[in-house]
Amino acid sequence: MTETASSDRPGISTPGRVELTPGTAPADLRFANDDLLPVPVAERRWTTYNFAALWVGMAHNIPSWLLASGLVALGMDWLQAVVTIALANVIVLLPMLLTGHAGPKYGIPFPVLARASFGLRGANLPALIRAAVACAWFGIQTWIGGQGIFVLLGKIFGGWAEAGRIGGQPWTLWLCFLLFWALELALIYRGMDALRRFENWAAPFVIVGALVLLVWIATEAGGLGPLLDQPSKLGWGADFWRVFFPALMGMIAFWATLSLNIPDFTRFGAGQRAQVWGQSLGLPTTMTLFALLSVLVTSGSQAVYGAPVWDPVALAAKTDNVFGLLFALVTVLVATLSVNIAANVVSPAYDLANLAPKRVNFRTGALITGVVGVLIMPWKLTATPELYIFTWLGLVGGLLGTVAGILIADYWLVRRTVLDLGGLYRSDGPYWYRGGWNPAAVLAFVAGGILAVGGSHSAPGTGPFPEDGLIPFLEPLADYGWAVGLAASLLLYTALMKRGGRRG
């Protein structure tokens, strides 16, 4: 789509892409810094391979392995688990592509895109929600990575688990955690181009590591047969469906974070074709393949050890082969670095920069993310499959689905993908609304959020919510939180904006 620049819409247009006219960069430092300004068209050069490699690198990580293996631990067989995850990733790909469209076209990150719907100040609401979720994920991933290093090095050198304890954990575990934390922040400090190069080679390496683990457990089990023969404890009746729908929403919620801030990456894209094909080839195929590897290995562990071992680090530690342990250690390092930096540091770095552009740039935001991710101690959320999949992912999915519905409604249904690029950085522009907030977006977010998570419930002893739900009459909606939040906010926001006749 070609846009024509005008005096109230300062920008240069090429087919399908828009950038600010040289010399017209916003002067109001309350809403702009170098990291939030649009990427110039000449610097938008990520290819289909770069996006596919990004997704391969992000999908192949321990928490996504825990998703699939957790479903086996909850009673599914390998086929049920793979189908659940494959369907979830096909579903979440659609909002990923829809929100990602603004990246190559305008070169803007997620918090700036959110200004069109929430307002220049109101955009901080979804940005901070996304940042808080990312900080929690950063803590989870960093703890898992540090734990993996601790377990595998302990097997190689011995005695690590018997070291003196600090805060209930061996000091050697804390050392591994802090070293891994520092390595992550050092890499992201080098910028987005360093991330692109890292993802390009990390992606195939992690695939090889997962295949090696599959070959090993199949050998231990006496072939692939025992891996495929493990029966479902749920069957295909009512017991299965009670687990399937909340599990499906949990699987969607796993990447619901990226369905919001994918413009943080697509803004570097060489065009729409690169981001559409790259994401379509990278996300659903990779997650399905990785899920298949995960459930086969977990089923194999059940055949070999009599109970499913859903943590790949714990499983790899069962070997006494030093080379195998070292290879597993490097794989854990690369896999966790790959996803944690891309998925959980890039977004909050931009989100925090959007909160205070004069004081916080991309690098400062990344450092804040690292500190907050440690302080909130979110690793407890992976203690059980129920807490990880139903409580954490279910709650997060409902809220993020609500934000996604508003972004998609605004960009596609209200504005038909046409934005005033300069206006996204001006308090006298069309996105100021009322004091920098769009009441329609706030109302749609509150209503959608209540419907999505108001019925959150936990079985006795498995979670923090009442058994009959926070708001009992909404309890039936809780298992569909992401879908409910997205649909409700999308419809309500569109109706409110169309009724008010407001467009930027």
Alpha-carbon gap, residue 62 to 56, rounded angstroms:
13
Q: Which residues lie closer than 8 Å to 50 by C-beta, 6 or more apart?
A: 196, 199, 200, 274, 278
Nearest to 341 by CA among 152, 194, 205: 194
Q: Within 13 A of 463's CA, how many CA atoms are on the CB side?
A: 22
Nearest to 100 by CA among 277, 314, 362: 277
Q: What is the pLDDT of residue 392?
A: 64
6: Cα separation from own chain's centroid: 37
Element (H, E) at 18: strand 17-19
Q: Inter-axis angle of helices 124-157 and 238-261, to 10 degrees?
A: 110
Structure tokens at 425: 């950085």
Alpha-carbon gap, residue 154 to 189, rounded angstroms:
30
Instruction: Report yes or no: 412 and 14 within 8 Å, Cβ to Cβ.
Output: no
Q: Which residues lie closer than 8 Å to 226 by C-beta, 6 or more apart?
A: 299, 300, 303, 304
Instruction: Report yes or no: 127 and 111 within 8 Å, Cβ to Cβ.
Output: yes
Nearest to 188 by CA among 336, 334, 341: 341
Looking up tokens 């009746």, which residue turns up? 237
pLDDT tens sequence for the chain (504 residues): 333 333 334 455 556 788 887 766 676 668 888 888 999 998 998 999 889 888 877 777 777 777 777 777 778 877 888 888 889 889 989 999 999 999 999 999 999 999 999 999 999 999 888 888 888 878 888 887 888 788 878 877 777 777 788 767 788 888 888 888 888 877 777 765 666 666 666 667 777 777 887 787 778 777 666 556 666 677 787 888 888 887 887 778 778 888 888 999 999 999 899 999 999 998 888 888 877 877 777 777 777 777 767 677 777 777 777 777 777 777 777 777 777 777 777 778 778 878 777 787 777 888 888 888 877 776 666 555 556 555 666 677 788 889 999 999 999 999 999 999 999 998 888 999 999 999 999 999 999 999 998 887 777 766 677 778 788 888 888 878 888 999 999 999 999 998 876 555
Nearest to 425 by CA among 3, 37, 12: 37
Indicate the SS3 state at residue 270.
coil
Neighbours of 224 (CB within 10 A): 14
Nearest to 219 by CA among 149, 324, 148: 324
Nearest to 498 by CA among 405, 436, 410: 410
Nearest to 137 by CA among 256, 285, 51, 292: 256
Structure tokens at 241: 């469906």
Indicate the SS3 state at residue 152.
helix
pTM recorded for the entire structure: 0.80
Q: Which residues lie closer than 8 Å to 475 by C-beta, 6 or more apart?
A: 455, 457, 468, 469
Structure tokens at 227: 């891996």
